[in-house]
Structure formats: structure tokens, C-alpha cells
Amino acid sequence: MSMRSELGETPEVVRSLIEKQRGVIDAVAEAIQARPVDMVLMAARGTSDHAAIYAQYIFGVYNKLPVALAAPSIHSLYGVAPRLRNALVIGVSQSGQSPDVVGVVEEARSQNCLTIAVTNDVKSPLGRAAEFRIDIHAGSERAVAATKTYVAELTALAMLSTALDDDGVARGQLREVPDAIAAALGLEEIVASAAREQAGMRRAVVLGRGFNYATALEWSLKLKEMTYVVADAYSTADFEHGPIAMIDPGFVVHAIAAEGPTLAEVKTVLGRLREAGARLVVASNSDEALAFADVPLRLPAAPEWLSPLSAIIPGQLFAYHLALAKRLDTDRPRNIEKVTRTR
């Protein structure tokens, strides 16, 4: 069971990354500070796309940098090179192999932009294309579904944001993340029981907001790729603008609700879902949010900006145990490969 063993490695992977890459990331931050950077452009696919969405929030909230997601096909299929003046371009890819992501970074470098590869293989095409490389130090990941590499990508981006502000308090909070991840792994028994109870699930919604919108997207992806459930992810704000109409009694909703500015609005949505008869799985560090849940998953205390690093753990565990309950191969889901090379 490669996926489960790799998931269990996550606390040590994050601890090692924080220890080994601090100097590298501080040097990258110095290079950024020395250049006129007005915006960040993130290039990624799949799971790494969700890490890029986390970057939108962390660089926006803490570094006041607007962050856009690249549309790689503009360059790779339409043959157009957008103007990237004063952009910091970051390619995020576990394997570093996807040609369209590499192409965005190569084009940015040709325009004299500062480029960074965040990858588990710094010798990959992405690593070679970028001016700077951040090695996420996750080690081999054999299961098709990414687990520890996703959390390591989030960690690297959080470290870069912190280095840009040289925030000692934030650095201290980062050092506590491995323990928070280990605590989240302690939810496994509750998660496994809920997954077995929901073994017949064919559709679901996953909700989050702010920093944890990325968590909702990744949680949803894990359900889709590992258990073949039709699982849609939404920001709770977008969910209220129409999709909430599909909820009827018994509809399964998974939600991430972290303490912070988004909590009040998420609780309001949970209340509406409770009234509509939805079956709620809620991952939260808030007693008030957990009170709405049929399946409460208590997350460890963490500042909101770091909560996605541990909040995804119950989602990964749920997908794993639901796959077991459905008697599916947890390491090799159908129709997909570990490395996907899109153009």
C-alpha cells in the first residue's frame, strides 16, 4: 500500500524540507527582492495547480502580490507569448516533466523574468528551465495519487512567502507544521469508519474558502481519481451562487472550515446545508463548525495560512479508505499514470 505509507511520511518530509531548504529559499527571496516584481504567474497542472491556488492566497495576503494562474495552452497550442514584464514566474510540478508547464517557464526566462521551479526532481526539464530551483525533498512517491508531494509543495510556497517578509513569527509557526500533520494523521480511525459507511457514495461536494479553497479542490481530486466519485469542489461563496440548489436530503458534503476570517461565512453555509438535510463531513478546528457535522473531524490548531498543510490529510485518508471500501486499487487508479505530459 504505497499511498498509505507515503502519506505517513508527510510529517518527516515537511520537517526535512524546512530544515534543508531554508537557506536556498532565503537566497531565492533575496533575488526576488532585488528585482522589480509586480506580479506572480504560477504554471502548474493537476494537484500542483491546487498548490498554485494556495499561492494566490499566501502571496496575495502576506506579500501583497497579485497572483495569476498561467494558461499554458496560450503558448503551447496557440503559439502566442503573453507579455510578462516584471513578473515572477513559478512552475510547480512534482515530476517536472509536463512540457506545457516547462514551456511557460522557458518563455518567461526568454523575456528576462525571474523564474523558479518548485519540484521533486531538480534535474527534470522544469528544473533545467528555471533560473532557481526549490527541491521539495519528498523522496520517491510510487502511488499515482500525490500525497506527501502536494503538502511539500505547499510548504515550499509558504516558506518562500515567509522569507520574502523575513517574518520570524511565521518561521516559528512553520516549524510546528510537522506536528500538526502528525496530529491530523491521528484522525484515521474516525475517517476510515466514515469512509466505510459512505462506501456506496457516487456523488459529493467539497467546500472550502480562502486558503482552504485549495484544500477543497485537492480533496475533491483525490475522491475523483481514487474512488471514481463525482466530487465537485467549490468556494462556499460560489456554491451559494447556484450549486447549492442541487442539495437534497442525504447528499454528501465534505467541508473544510478553519478558524479565521472565512469561518463565519462557512458556518452560515453549513447551517443552510444542515437545514436541507445534507450529510456533512466537516474538518475544522472550530467547535461551532464541528457542531454542524454528522462526521466531525477535529483539525489541529493552526494559523489559517498554514492550515491547508494539515487540513488536506483527512481528505487524503478518506479517499484512501473509501477506495479500500470500494475494493479499488489505492496505488494505481484506472486510466491515469503517475507522470502526465500535457502540451
DSSP letters, 11-55, are HHHHHHHHHHSHHHHHHHHHHHHTS---EEEEEE-THHHHHHHHH
Out of 3.40.50.300, 3.90.79.10, 3.40.50.970, 3.40.50.10490, select the CATH number for domain 2-175.
3.40.50.10490
Cell representation of residue 51:
498548490
- Residue 342 confidence (pLDDT): 60
Q: For each successive 10 residues of the chain (343 residues), what is the average pLDDT? A: 87 96 96 95 95 98 96 88 94 91 95 96 96 93 84 98 91 96 97 95 96 98 94 94 92 97 96 96 97 97 97 97 91 60 58
- Residue 77 confidence (pLDDT): 87
Task: For residue 78, count CB atoms less than 10 angstroms from its CB and return exposed for 0-12, middle for 13-18, buried for 19 or more.
Answer: exposed
Closest to 82 in 3D by CA, of 100, 65, 67, 70: 70
User: How far is it, in rounded angstroms, from Cα 237 to Cα 280?
Assistant: 18
Residue 318 CA, chain-centre distance (Å), reads 16
Comma-separated ranges of CATH 3.40.50.10490 domains in the chain: 2-175, 179-325
pTM, two decimals, is 0.95
Closest to 11 in 3D by CA, of 181, 212, 219: 181
| H-run or E-run covering 256 | strand 252-257
Q: What are phi and psi of 186, to 5 degrees?
A: -70, -10
- Residue 334 confidence (pLDDT): 60
Q: 237 and 208 in contact (C-beta within 8 Å)?
A: no
- Residue 338 confidence (pLDDT): 46
- Residue 177 confidence (pLDDT): 97
- Residue 97 confidence (pLDDT): 87
- Residue 240 confidence (pLDDT): 87
Out of 2.60.40.60, 3.90.1150.10, 3.20.20.70, 3.40.50.10490, select the CATH number for domain 179-325.
3.40.50.10490
User: How far is it, in rounded angstroms, from Cα 181 to Cα 312?
Assistant: 9
User: How far is it, in rounded angstroms, from Cα 203 to Cα 4?
Assistant: 24
* Non-local CB neighbours of 338 within 8 Å, separated by 6+ positions: 95, 141, 142, 143, 144
- Residue 109 confidence (pLDDT): 96
User: How far is it, in rounded angstroms, from Cα 120 to Cα 308?
Assistant: 20
| H-run or E-run covering 204 | strand 203-208
Radius of gyration, alpha carbons of the chain? 19
Catalytic residue numbers read 338
